[in-house]
Each structure stands twice: as structure tokens, then as C-alpha cells.
Structure 1
């Protein structure tokens, strides 16, 4: 069997930029963006602002890992924002209302998230429901359940140690939530690059029928990917709850669009089978740096949405053109 790289093709040579980022185009774009903001704002290039950017991208970074798996498979998941909210509400209700230990409440929230992914995976593989429709339905169901738990009310107040996960900087640099995001990214990168199970995701995304004929259980891989995506969305909800010290059923609105955007900006193909975690990290950083820089420049939030939309189109267009030339 011929070895393949993160983009599903045989590697021609060792390129340290590709090894680190998964996509040279997005990495170059990130560097240029940072250079521009360094000259445009006196406050951008500082340790404090850099750490602030890392704090702000933790939720998006964890969710984007799961979405990378799904898009590599050739699918899509529109339910991640709602699953995030449902996870938060399950944790909040079981801990603050039912009185369960915080650790058990977190575990139950992740189990509920996994069940959401399992249902989506079964709908797609067992009932042949298109991924767009299956996840759109789960988006509505999960959001409704999140509201039903407390009748649309938020829950405030958690143990001090839980809130400190997003505040206390270890060695004066990184919070526990940022460290968690980095661990998730690293483990996922290792899984996709060096584990046979990770390579099957590329195989199914490249051509599901060929993968099936090669002996890969396509249905099992698909279900596993959607479960992993849902669990990571639930984990992101736990991180968001630690940052806010509260949970509310309206959390996560629009997060699915940011998550998909980060993955696509990072060079992962929407048709599946090409991309990787390195590129996704670059995409997450681009969105985080862009939003941070626009805030420093006092750009209107409404104009920020327009600018980010334009960046997404340009990034996808440039990556598509690069792949065609390659």
C-alpha cells in the first residue's frame, strides 16, 4: 500500500510547512494577516493579546476538530451548535438542580452528546437520510431539548475550581481550557496521520464505494465520526460553561457556521478525502486573529461579519485554484 499524506495524495517530498500546517496557503494568509494587524494596531503584537486570542478560540478549536473528521468523510454537521447547548444544559441541570457531583454531570453531558451523534450516524447509514437533513433535524431537536430542560432559563454558578479552569494561567501562560484544546488537536493529528483508523476516514471520504470494496466498514466509520464530532461539540460546551460560569439554551447559535468556515479555510475539501488537523488549526487561528484584530481596530460587528464572509470565499477560492493547478 502506498503511503498518502494529509491531502490524500502520495507525498512528493518533506515540506516542513505542510507538515506543520496541513496547508501552505492558509499558513501564508495567517502570517500576512498578523503582519498587517501588527502595523495597524499598537496592541496586537503583545503576549497578553496573544493569550487572549488563544482563550477566545478554545471553543471553536475543539469543535473544529470534530467537524474536520466529518468533512474529511465527505459529510456535514449542522447540529454542533445545538449539541453544544444541550451538553451545557444537561451538565448545568444535573449539577445545580439534581445535585450530582460536577464530574458526573460532565460525564452525563458528554454521554448525551454522544447519543446525538449516534442518532445522526444511524439516520445517515441505516435510513439513508442525507447528512444535511439528518444534522439539520438534530439541530432542531437538540435545541428544543436544551430549552425544555429549564424552560428556556439559564443556570448560573458552578464550583470555583470549574470556573478557574478558564481563568487560572498555569506557569502564567496557558489556562486549562487552552491546554485541553491543544491536547485534543494533537491527539487528533496523531490519529489521522499515523493510525490506520484515521486513514480509513480519508479513504471513505475519497470514495466510499472503493473503500467498501477494500473491506472498510463504511457505516461503522461514518457512525464513529459523527459520534466523535458530537462528543467534541459537547466538550466545547463544557469549556464554554467554564468561561461563562453559566449555561443557557441559546448558547452556540451560529457556531456551526464558524466551525465549518474554520475547517474549510484550513484547506479541508468539502467533497471529502483531503485536508487535515494542521490546516484546521490554521483556519481557527485565522478566524480568531481576524476577529481580535477587527475589535482592536474598532470595526463594527456587522461589518466584521461581512469581512469574515469575504475571507471565507477568498480562502476557499484560492485553495480550489491551488488544487486544480496541482
Structure 2
């Protein structure tokens, strides 16, 4: 049994557990497999998965991004303010994405050029961008948005539009990681940054790619979240950074770098969304949900360590 646990990839356990949970929930409550509930879960998962995919890119290079939840809130409020003041929706979206790109570039510069640890840089960003969201909104919810803002997130083209947005992001990032030189360098840097540097690879550029992706996808998630809610609040996306990191790690990304996949991040997001949905449908105390999520993360890290010992011959 122990040797079997060592052989199977982490994603196998997570997918199996998620499927088992779906089967159990379909038997436990008639409301789980309804069209409205599944559509709602797909919309919720899509936004969470987009954030998790971005964070996974920083974890691959042995970094971390604790600022994404605040970036979602800041960019969401920025987008809503521009729309509420009559700016054309496409232009508001482009400016918001540019703001996210700038946040990522700033993080990468502080980490790659100034030598400040990623944990400290992004922890500071967690405070800074949440504060900017509060300043930009005056601490109030931003409403009065034009009806066109909600059209995309609430629309459906066979499947919810938010799902298609997540799928497009996932395919693009998967292609970058698996089929481009930059993607190979991201994994190489996470495995051994010094060896990567000695091979003449520009590790600062790789750091820039990872953190720009993370913050840009957080900005996109902010736009989509505002579209879904039709309002923006400076307190929205609270703890998104922890959920995104958890989804990436549960999906097989290693906090020591060098490993992580788009599929894993998406599967992790699906699992946590399912657990949250189950808590609501079964009237489970949300505090127990937090306990179970924490235990699940600990179990996945344990399985990850088993695999590392096998690979190292331990």
C-alpha cells in the first residue's frame, strides 16, 4: 500500500477524491446535481481556478504570491469605478489588466533586482493593494454599474461564459509551460535557480514572467468577479490568496518549486468549491469546512514527501 502511495501522482488522489465526493453528494442531497447548482459551481470554480493558475506559476519557480486576493479586490474596484463613471467597458478592462501587469512587474523587480524575499514582497502587497482598494472606493461598495457589465459573467454559451474564460486561460498557460522555452525555464529555475543562472538563463526575466502572469490573472479574476456580482467591494476576494495556494498545492504543485500543472490547479479549485458547496447544501458548520481543508492540505504534503523520498531513493 505504501509503495502504491509513492507511485501515483498527487493529481490522481485529488481527482479520485473529487469524483467520490460528487457521487456521495449526488446521493446525499437532490439539490447537488441540479442545473442551477452545477452552473453556479462552474462560475465559482472558474474565477478561483484563474487565480490558482496564476499563483501556481510563482510556486513553480519556488516563489509565492500572497497578494493576489488584494489584487483581485483592487483591480475589481478600479474596473467598477471606471465603468460607473461611464468609461467604455473594453477600455476599462484593458486599463485594469494593465494595472495587474504593473503590479506583477513591481513584485518581480523587488524580488529579482532588489533581492527581497517573495514572501515579504507579496505580504506587503497584500496590505498595500487592499488599502488601495479601500482608498479608491472610499471604503464603500461600488454600485451603479451599467447592465452590460454583468452580461458576460451571467451569460451561457452551452456552458457558462466564465467557464470558457477559465478554459482559455488554462489552455494558454498550459501551452506556455509545456511547449515553450520560457515554460521549461520556469520549471528549471524552480528546481535549481543557481544552476539555471549558470547556464546563462536570465532568471530575472523568468521571475518577471511568473509574477506578471500571477497578478494579471488576478486582475482578470477581479473583472470577472465584478461582472458576476454586479458590484465591487474593497473587502471582496478575502483569503483568495490562501485558497489559490491551497488549490495549487493540493493539485500537485510543490512549494519547493519545480513542479505544478494547470490541470492540477483547476482540479484543486474544483475540489475546494465542491467542499464549500457541500457545506452549504448539507448545512455543515463552515468552521468544519476550514478544518477539513487544512487536513486535506496536510495529507497532500505528506503524499508529496513520500514521492520525494522514493525519487531520492529514501
1:266 equivalenced with 2:261 (yes/no): no
1:113 equivalenced with 2:100 (yes/no): yes
1:250 equivalenced with 2:235 (yes/no): yes
CA contact (8 A) 1:25 1:319 kept: no
Aligned residue pairs: how many? 305
1:56 equivalenced with 2:44 (yes/no): yes
In the superposition, the TM-score normalised over structure 1's length comes to: 0.89
Which residue number corresponds to residue 170 of structure 2? 185
Aligned mates of 2:20, 2:275 — CA distance in 1: 11
Match of 1:159 among 146, 149, 162: 146
Which residue number corresponds to residue 209 of structure 1? 194
- Cα root mean square deviation, aligned: 1.8
Structure 1 residue 160 displacement after superposition: 2.0
The 5 A counterparts of 1:46-85 are 46-85=34-73
Q: 1:313 to 1:168 in 2, by over 3 A?
A: same
Aligned mates of 1:33, 1:96 — CA distance in 2: 41
Which residue number corresponds to residue 197 of structure 1? 182
Aligned-partner SS, 1:42: coil
- For residues 15-51 of structure 1, the C-alpha deviation after alignment (integer angstroms, 9 at most, x for no partner) is xx97xxx822222222222233233223323444322
Q: Which moved more, 1:139-148 or 1:310-319?
A: 310-319
Q: Which runs of 5+ in 1 are unaligned?
A: 1-16
Aligned mates of 1:317, 1:47 — CA distance in 2: 36
1:304 equivalenced with 2:289 (yes/no): yes
1:101 equivalenced with 2:88 (yes/no): yes
CA contact (8 A) 2:150 2:230 kept: yes
Structure 1 residue 68 displacement after superposition: 0.8
Q: Which runs of 5+ in 2 are unaligned?
A: 1-7
Which residue number corresponds to residue 4 of structure 2? none
In the superposition, the TM-score normalised over structure 2's length comes to: 0.92
Match of 1:143 among 101, 125, 130: 130
Higher helix share: 2
